[in-house]
Amino acid sequence: MAALGVLRGFLRLPAAAAAVAVVPRPPWRRWASSSSSSSSSPPFQYLVLERRGSRQEVALIRLHRPQALNALCDGLMAEMEAALSSLEGDPAVGAIVLTGSERAFAAGADIKEMRARTFQQCYQGNFLASWDRVARVRKPVIAAVNGFALGGGCELAMMCDIIYAGEKAQFGQPEILLGTVPGAGGTQRLTRAVGKSLAMEMVLTGERISAREAQQAGLVSKVFPVEQVVEEAVKCAERIAKNSKLVTAMAKEAVNAAFEVTLAEGIRAEKRLFHATFATEDRKEGMDAFVEKREAHFKDR
């Protein structure tokens, strides 16, 4: 939840990088693809949205607040919620990739925006309640992380289903250094991902771990060179999008149940979802294609 752009010493960055510079706002951006733009898509100030993949089934969301190292302000998170809601209802989108810049996936929450809030405002307004929209998307979401993923940035990455990281990525929950604690799932998702000991060390000291350390701990799936991580995430998303979108949502639900319920309840949920696939046309098509030794053509029904 803590923002990277608040203290130069804390981030070990030069003064020019630590300060939030006053620069002109970036132009409002729309959906973009290699061939055309969609004039009907909503414009965004803090996000850049693109369609990727040979069949344009992958949505790429790029955080675009470079002057603040992609610190998560209220405006950015509101745009994120709007973008994800739009993608959720788009039948052409099979998977989503979420990324930032090579320097920072997201530096954390915007501390300058947050510092004046009171307990009453946080509690009565249920502050940060809407931040978990990424975790509630039924379509698969892949985080392509380069640079800093600290505080809210680390929490945002952990809300995704898969995390790919660039070799120079760094993950951390440094809220303790700002006199607070993670507030968007950091203590819960991090502990489930890396275990109690490492999670406790990171939360209590504010220390960061590298991409390789994150992979060894189970937080990150794969590590790539900085310039390749986004494209590799898009390739993974393309492979996912080729499958039945309906059955993919069922598979995601089954895996997520492992983090929410007991083993016995999870197995029962998995069995129900497995049985449910037999009510779909895609299950029949997939098995018929396997027996007939041909490629399956799913219709998402």
By annotation, the residues acting in catalysis are 109, 152, 155, 175
> What's the rounded Cα separation, in Å, for the pair 245 and 140?
9
CA distances from 299 to 25, 91, 281 (A): 42, 11, 8
Q: Which of 227, 108, 132 is nearest to 184 (CA)?
A: 132
- The one-character DSSP state at 172 is E
Name the H helices within the chain.
8-11, 15-18, 74-88, 111-114, 119-124, 133-136, 152-159, 186-194, 196-205, 211-217, 229-241, 245-257, 263-277, 281-291
Structure tokens of 54? 């040979």
